[in-house]
Every structure is written in structure tokens, then in C-alpha cells.
């Protein structure tokens, strides 16, 4: 062997003759089943290949590849493995001269076939599959960076390579427990086809340039479709986790766009399939972070909202053709609901990756899609139209809430632009209690910038506010401007929501949180005065009862006022004001406990039907409050004038 190598190096022009001779011998030995000589011939070829890097090597490589192909064509597993090992050694050699005419089509096809081996013997099957994966890895390494070679990224090759790797990855038990990084795996795992396929797939995707991402991802989507792997979504999620961690970060949005396109293409597939695609989208968005949405931000949200509306139509009509009875497929409402929740969660995931200014744009975009009676959005007539409008409103507001929860902005003027706030507040006055509650929750999530919301989750007359450990900062100039511009608008809507007779405990808790958060986040002295006037006006709603509210609603409003005034008196620390509030609460505890939150906001509220015969001592009096606060520097004139809701946002009394 040493003499042969020396001869080949001394006379490189003879390499092609040597290769042709060895090739002829190997083909003859294979056909005569003389496998020992076959191994010797391949060993000789391997050593010559490793030693020679001259310009004549191309002709020698042709003979070498012909011999490898002959071994791979054999039905003998050992010969297939021998041929693969030789090819892998060849793939790791960096050639000095390019090849213009070499083709790897056969090798891609054969190695892909080996990846799907179904040999009866488990050990042999595993070895053949691993050889197939190693062979594909070799083809990729040999061709991926050489523009003169056959383009491995062409669909004809990717449609064989990617499904072969996914087929070997397709082990749900391992996929669930495996980490996204191959660094933490044991040596034993590295010897399994699953782990080897994952490493090969990572390497392939890591080498993908901008123009090749689409061809690499499309076979993944087709494979998941063909084998019904979107539901359960475990394997699909595992695949896209590998993809997102392997590709170059600047290409992330291309994967997201392909998933969105695939979701559109499957818009009439079963809800479970669509939900699987959407949940994979959500996972991918979190991994890709800021690069996930790419240049077409609103197009991403437009696609998701379109799917949401289609799902609502499917659930209402029972058909994928939006006309009852046309489709033969049975649509399950609970599956459509699961899909809708998945879309809403995904909208939140995408929004959380965006910078603040884009989050604000997205919220305006979603709000503009909400059908409102006062807007240009088409409001459908009839019972079916009402149902569709209501479900659309609820789903879009849920989506908006999901975005607003992750929204952090110190400047309320930019967080809630006028066009957005006007539409949002108009939804707050709708008859549907669920819609009103969503609007309140959205407003609360905007106003709560220091995480105080949870501290007001239950309404009570707490005696010492310090146990709440509230985070309070001085009201900024921008917040003052915001309240001057929109304060009256907010007060008016709070006042009108209080008058709704179908309010339940959740509404009163949200109203309480809203009042407290405005007091902590946005209040200067003027705002505090207006909020106290507003709460006293709410007490008057319950006291006079012009709207014929139920006993529960009236008691709830009394309790809401008591809880708010109790906390605000401790926040502004005016002793005489605190004393008045404390005296009224004590009197209620003795004479009318059903006017306090501890008796009203419980599982079985204790109410009274004699609310019209209450004495003056259980009410908070505007004259008394304006007197005690006026003595401490607050605007007594403004305090003494009863609150009347204004139709505009201007600062009129």
C-alpha cells in the first residue's frame, strides 16, 4: 500500500488508471461475493484519496464514487455501511480543484432510502439508518458551500433529505425530554439515529442562506401534514425549536412567514390541526424574539386575526363554507374555541417580542378591527349577525388584553392615543357585561405600570394600607397632561358603567382596581379631588336609585365607595378626612354591614331590602369632605360641587 501511494504521488497522471483498475476489480469481487477483496479495494481507495490532492484527483474521484455507488446498491447491509463510511471520509476532504460535472443525485436518493430502512433485525436496521444519516450529512458538507456543485438546496434534494431526517427524529418520548441544545446529551444518546438526525438537521439549517430557508422549511411542513403530526403538537414543536435555534437569527422571520402561509393554506383543516400550527408559531416567536416578525409587522397580526374571524364563522355556521349544511365535515365548537384561545395566546407571544412603538401600532390595528355601532365597521343585522358581532368583539378584545398585559410604557399619552382610547371606551358602554369587563381589564393593564394590580384584587376596608406595600411614584408631567386631556372621559365611563344593572362582582372589583390605580399612577391633587367627587356621585346613584338597580347592585356601589374612600384617605394622610371616613365605616359595621365589601363581595352576599330607610350617619357627605380637605389645601370649591358626567374630555365642572 505504501508503494502504491508513493507511485500515485510521484505520477499523479496515473491516478485515473489506478482508480479505474480498482473499480473494475471491486465490481467483479462484489458480483462474485468475494467480500474480503472488496474491503481491501475500498481501503486502498480510501488511503489514496486521503493522500492525493493533485489536479488529477477529479478523474480518480469518478472511479471512487462509482465504487461507492456499487456498494450502496448491494442488498448486503455490511457493504452499504462500508460504502457509506468511505463516502463520509471523502466528504471531509477539502479538494484543491472544483468539479464542474459531478452529480450526487444518486447518493441523496440512496442515503434517504437507507434512512427509512425497515430491516427485520433491529440492530442492523439501526446501523443502516445511521449510515444513511451520515451519508446525507456527507453530501451536505461536500456540496453546501460549493456553488459549482449540484445545488443541494433545490427542492428535488430537500424533499428527500429533510423528511429522511425527520423520520428518524420522530420519537415522541425522546423529543419531549430532549433539550433544544445538543450539548447536554450523553454519549449513548449520540449513537442513536434520533440524536444523529438532529445534529445533521442542525448542521443543514445552520448553513442555510437567506434564499434557501424556504426550500429547507417547506418539506418540514409537508412532512408534518402528511403524517398528521400537528396534533398532538409535541413533535412539531420539537422540530421548530430545532429549526429556530439552528438558523441564523436574521432569517427567523422567514420561518415565521412560512408558518403563517401554511396556516392560511390550512384554513379549512380541522381546528386541532390549525391549533397545532398556531401553537408552534407561538413557540417559534418566543425563541426568535425581536427578529421574529420581520418587516411586515401588521401582516402577521392581520393573518392571525383573519384566522380568528374564520374560526368564529365556522363555529356559528357549523361549516367550512360559511353556509350551514354545505360542508360534510363536522365542526366541533369546543375544538374551535381551543383554536381561538391558541390564536389569542400567539398574538400575545408575537406582541411581546416587539418594541413599544410597534406594540402600540398593533393595539390600534386590533382595536380598529372591533365592530362597534359607532364605527365604520360593518355591523351585521339579525340574530346570527348579533352572535357573530359579539363573538368577534370578545375575541378581539381578548387579543388586545393579551397584548396589553406585556405592554410597558411610562408615557400614557403614547400608550393610549386618542383614536385608540375613544374606540376602547365606546366599547365600555355596550350592554354585554363580558365586553365591559374586558375593556376595564385592558385599561387596568395599561395604567398599572408598577405591578400594584394584584394588591387590589379583593375589595375590602383595610385598616392599615402599609401592609399592601404599594409602589407609589410622583405623578409625571406627561401623566398630568394625559389626565387633563382624558380624565373627564375616563370618569364619565366609570360613572356610566356603575349604572349598569347586569354588573357582577368581577365588574366591581375591576372598577375598584381602576379607581385605585388612577389614584396611585396618575393622580395629582386635582385628580384626587375629581375621583372623590366621582365616588360620591356613585354613592348617590345607589342612594337615589333612579335606574331601579337591584339590592345587590346598590349595596355593591355603597361598598365600592367605602373601600375606595378608606384607601384614598390613608394615601393622602389628612387626619380629619381619615377620621370622617373611619367614623362612617364604623357606623356601617354597627348599623348596616351590608353596605361594606366584607358582607357584599362574598359567595353569599348579605343584603338588605330596606336601603331607602337608611340614616344619614351611614353615608359619606360631600359637604363634610370638602370642609376637611379644603382646610388642608385642596380645592374646596371644586370638592363641594357634585360630579356630573361630561360628554367631552374637557375640564368642565
Indicate whether 534 belongs to any domain: yes
- CA 277 from chain centre, in angstroms, equals 11
Tell me the torsion sign for CA atoms 436, 439, 443, 445.
positive
Angle between helix 551-572 and helix 505-521 axes, rounded to 10 deg: 20
Domains of the chain: total:
1
Indicate whether 6 belongs to any domain: no
Q: Per-residue pLDDT for 297 more than 70? A: yes
Indicate whether 269 belongs to any domain: no
- Helix (H) and strand (E) counts in the chain: 30, 0
Q: Per-residue pLDDT for 524 more than 60? A: yes
What DSSP assignment string belongs to 369-385?
HS--TTSSSPPPPHHHH
Taking the C-alpha atoms of residue 529 and residue 526, their distance in angstroms, rounded to an integer, is 5
Contact assessment for residue 165 and residue 115, using Cβ atoms and an 8 Å cutoff: yes
Residue 51: predicted pLDDT: 63
Indicate whether 266 belongs to any domain: no
Q: Per-residue pLDDT for 9 more than 60? A: no
Taking the C-alpha atoms of residue 12 and residue 18, their distance in angstroms, rounded to an integer, is 10
Taking the C-alpha atoms of residue 382 and residue 411, their distance in angstroms, rounded to an integer, is 42
Indicate whether 598 belongs to any domain: yes
Indicate whether 157 belongs to any domain: no
Strands (E), 343-472: none
Taking the C-alpha atoms of residue 562 and residue 558, their distance in angstroms, rounded to an integer, is 6
Indicate whether 307 belongs to any domain: no
Contact assessment for residue 118 and residue 167, using Cβ atoms and an 8 Å cutoff: no
Domain that holds residue 589: 448-640
Condensed to tens digits (0 to 9), the pLDDT of residues 366-423 reads: 999 999 876 555 556 566 778 889 999 999 999 999 999 888 888 888 888 899 999 9
Residue 277's alpha-carbon distances to 4, 265, 567, in angstroms, are 59, 11, 47
Condensed to tens digits (0 to 9), the pLDDT of residues 460-485 reads: 999 889 898 998 888 889 999 999 99
Residue 64: predicted pLDDT: 78
The arithmetic mean of pLDDT across residues 52-62, rounded, is 63
Taking the C-alpha atoms of residue 400 and residue 402, their distance in angstroms, rounded to an integer, is 5
Tell me the torsion sign for CA atoms 481, 485, 488, 490.
negative
The C-alpha angle with vertex 426 and arms to 423 and 427, in degrees rounded to 5, equals 95
Q: Which residue has the higher pLDDT, 651 or 292?
A: 292
Indicate whether 587 belongs to any domain: yes
Q: Per-residue pLDDT for 149 more than 70? A: no
CB atoms within 10 A of CB 638: 17
Condensed to tens digits (0 to 9), the pLDDT of residues 565-584 reads: 999 999 998 999 999 999 99
Q: Per-residue pLDDT for 523 more than 70? A: yes
Taking the C-alpha atoms of residue 46 and residue 44, their distance in angstroms, rounded to an integer, is 5
Amino acid at each position: 500500500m505504501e508503494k502504491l501511494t508513493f507511485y500515485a504521488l510521484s505520477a499523479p497522471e496515473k491516478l485515473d488508471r489506478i482508480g479505474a483498475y480498482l473499480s473494475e476489480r471491486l465490481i467483479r469481487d462484489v458480483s462474485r461475493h468475494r467480500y474480503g477483496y472488496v474491503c481491501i479495494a475500498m481501503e486502498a481507495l480510501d488511503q489514496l484519496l486521503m493522500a492525493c490532492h493533485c489536479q488529477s484527483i477529479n478523474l480518480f474521484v469518478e472511479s471512487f464514487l462509482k465504487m461507492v455507488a456499487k456498494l450502496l446498491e448491494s442488498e448486503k447491509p455490511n457493504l452499504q455501511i462500508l460504502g457509506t463510511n468511505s463516502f463520509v471520509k471523502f466528504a471531509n476532504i477539502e479538494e484543491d480543484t472544483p468539479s464542474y460535472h459531478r452529480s450526487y443525485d444518486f447518493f441523496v436518493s440512496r442515503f434517504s432510502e437507507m434512512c427509512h430502512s425497515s430491516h427485520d433485525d433491529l440492530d442492523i436496521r439501526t446501523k443502516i439508518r445511521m449510515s444513511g444519516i451520515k451519508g446525507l450529512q456527507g453530501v451536505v458538507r461536500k456540496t453546501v458551500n460549493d456553488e459549482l456543485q449540484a445545488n443541494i438546496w433545490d427542492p428535488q434534494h430537500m424533499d428527500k433529505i429533510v423528511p429522511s431526517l425527520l423520520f428518524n427524529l420522530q420519537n415522541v418520548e425522546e423529543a419531549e425530554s430532549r433539550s433544544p441544545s445538543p450539548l447536554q446529551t450523553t454519549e449513548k444518546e449520540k449513537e442513536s439515529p434520533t440524536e444523529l438526525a438532529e445534529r445533521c438537521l442542525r448542521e443543514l439549517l445552520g448553513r442555510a442562506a437567506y434564499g434557501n430557508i424556504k426550500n429547507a422549511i417547506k418539506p418540514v411542513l409537508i412532512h408534518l401534514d402528511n403524517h398528521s403530526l400537528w396534533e398532538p403538537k409535541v413533535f412539531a414543536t420539537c422540530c421548530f425549536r430545532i429549526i429556530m435555534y439552528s438558523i441564523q437569527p436574521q432569517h427567523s422571520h422567514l420561518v415565521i412567514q412560512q408558518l403563517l402561509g401554511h396556516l392560511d393554506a390550512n384554513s379549512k383543516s380541522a381546528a386541532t390541526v390549525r391549533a397545532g400550527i398556531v401553537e408552534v408559531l407561538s413557540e417559534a416567536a418566543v425563541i426568535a424574539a425581536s427578529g421574529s416578525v420581520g418587516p411586515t409587522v401588521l401582516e402577521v397580526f392581520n393573518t392571525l386575526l383573519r384566522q380568528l374571524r374564520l374560526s368564529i364563522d365556522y363555529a356559528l355556521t357549523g361549516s367550512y363554507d360559511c353556509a350551514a349544511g354545505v360542508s360534510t365535515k363536522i365542526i366541533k365548537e369546543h375544538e374551535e374555541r381551543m383554536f381561538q384561545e391558541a390564536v389569542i395566546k400567539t398574538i400575545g407571544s408575537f406582541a411581546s417580542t416587539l418594541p413599544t412603538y410597534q406594540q402600540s401600532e398593533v393595539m390600534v390595528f386590533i382595536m380598529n378591527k372591533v365592530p362597534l355601532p359607532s364605527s365604520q365597521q360593518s355591523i351585521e343585522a339579525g340574530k346570527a349577525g348579533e352572535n357573530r358581532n359579539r363573538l368577534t368583539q370578545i375575541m378581539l378584545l381578548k387579543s388586545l388584553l393579551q397584548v396589553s398585559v406585556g405592554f410597558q410604557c411610562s408615557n400614557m399619552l403614547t400608550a393610549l392615543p386618542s383614536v385608540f382610547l375613544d374606540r376602547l371606551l365606546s366599547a365600555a358602554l355596550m350592554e354585554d357585561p363580558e365586553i365591559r369587563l374586558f375593556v376595564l381589564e385592558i385599561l387596568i393593564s395599561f395604567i398599572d405600570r408598577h405591578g400594584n394590580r394584584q394588591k387590589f384584587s379583593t375589595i375590602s376596608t383595610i385598616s392599615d394600607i402599609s401592609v399592601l406595600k404599594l409602589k407609589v411614584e410622583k405623578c409625571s408631567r406627561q401623566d398630568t397632561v394625559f389626565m387633563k386631556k382624558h380624565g373627564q372621559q375616563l370618569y364619565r365611563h366609570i360613572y356610566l358603567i356603575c349604572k349598569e344593572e347586569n354588573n357582577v362582582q368581577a365588574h366591581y372589583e375591576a372598577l375598584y382596581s381602576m379607581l385605585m390605580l388612577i389614584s396611585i399612577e396618575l393622580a395629582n391633587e386635582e385628580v384626587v379631588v375629581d375621583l372623590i367627587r366621582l365616588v360620591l356621585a356613585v354613592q348617590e346613584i345607589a342612594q337615589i336609585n333612579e335606574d331601579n338597580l337591584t339590592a345587590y347592585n346598590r349595596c355593591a356601589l355603597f361598598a365600592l365607595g367605602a373601600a375606595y374612600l378608606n384607601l384614598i384617605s390613608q394615601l393622602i394622610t389628612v387626619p380629619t378626612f381619615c377620621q370622617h371616613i373611619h367614623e362612617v365605616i364604623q357606623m356601617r359595621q354597627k348599623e348596616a354591614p351590608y353596605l361594606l365589601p366584607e358582607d357584599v363581595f362574598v359567595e353569599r352576599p348579605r343584603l338588605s331590602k330596606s336601603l331607602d330607610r337608611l340614616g344619614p350617619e351611614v353615608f359619606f357627605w360631600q359637604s363634610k369632605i370638602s370642609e376637611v380637605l379644603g382646610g388642608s389645601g385642596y380645592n374646596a370649591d371644586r370638592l363641594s360641587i357634585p360630579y356630573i358626567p361630561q360628554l367631552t374630555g374637557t375640564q368642565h365642572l
